[in-house]
Amino acid sequence: MVQNLNGIKHMRQWLAVGFVTVWLGFQPLQTWAQSDAVKVGVVNVAVLLEQSPQAKSASAGLEQEFSAQQQELINLNSQMEQKQSELNRDRLAMTESQQNLREREVAILGREIQRKRNDVQELLNIRRNEELAKLQNVVNDAIRAVGQREGFDLILYEGIAFTSSRIDLTEQVLQYMTELHEQPGSNFNR
């Protein structure tokens, strides 16, 4: 029992020495933090990827790029609906072989539409990912530029559960991106 008390006394001494050592070790950090405050900001990248003029421009460009394919799909779908309507209307006047032939035509057209729709969707996804990668580079450059201009030491943008409006830089970065987008010849301009 006496040995246990000595062990506890010895452990308390080591803890006290450890505490003092750690406290003395942090003294320079506390002094540094008091004299040179770290400036931290937060940016909501989802807002920038959705509301920036570069994002809107990329979206409009993709829409224009794929408008012909979308129109072709609309026309093919109209053709299929018309053939289906004609089949339903004339079904009683047709022989069974004529009905089968028309049903096959409608089914073939339906498969063609689905195949084209899948192809267009795949191409659209590839192009959207390419544009998103470009836009992410623009956003990162804008965040870096605003951070350097405003003297920030750290800017965070992922995994933030709460942000005070005092350190939220989203609007500043969005404004910066808007200004860059409006400059002729800017490499941020689409």
Residue ranges per structural domain of the chain:
1-36, 38-182
Query: Do residues 143 and 155 make contact, with C-beta atoms less than 8 angstroms apart?
Result: yes
For residue 126, what pLDDT is reported?
A: 97
Digit-coded pLDDT (tens) for 117-176: 999 999 999 999 999 999 999 999 999 999 999 999 999 987 777 878 888 899 999 999
The verdict on pTM exceeding 0.75 is no
> SS3 of 42, please?
strand
SS3 of 65-90: the string is: HCHHHHHHHHHHHHHHHHHHHHHHHH
Cβ atoms of residues 52 and 179 within 8 Å: no
Placement of tokens 């609309």 in the chain: 74
Find out whether 49 and 55 touch, Cβ atoms under 8 Å: yes
Mean pLDDT of 52-65: 94
Quote the CA–CA distance of 113 and 82 in Å, as a whole number.
Answer: 14
| Cβ neighbours for 135, distance < 8 A, ≥ 6 positions apart | 49, 52, 54, 55, 58
Within 10 angstroms of residue 142's Cβ, the number of other Cβ atoms is 24
Quote the tokens at residue 107.
């089914």
Answer yes or no: are the C-beta atoms of 154 and 27 closer than 8 Å.
no
pLDDT of 84 above 50 = yes
Is residue 61 over pLDDT 90? yes
CA 155/CA 169 separation, integer angstroms: 9
**Mean pLDDT across the stretch 77-105?**
92
Is 156 strand, coil or helix? strand
Q: Is the pLDDT confidence value at 187 over 90?
A: no
Q: Which CATH number fits domain 38-182: 3.10.20.30, 3.40.50.720, 3.30.910.20, 1.20.140.10?
A: 3.30.910.20
Question: What distance in Å separates the CA atoms of residue 57 and residue 26, rounded to the nearest whole number?
Answer: 50
Q: Which residues pair with 155 in a beta bridge?
A: 41
More confident residue, 130 or 37: 130
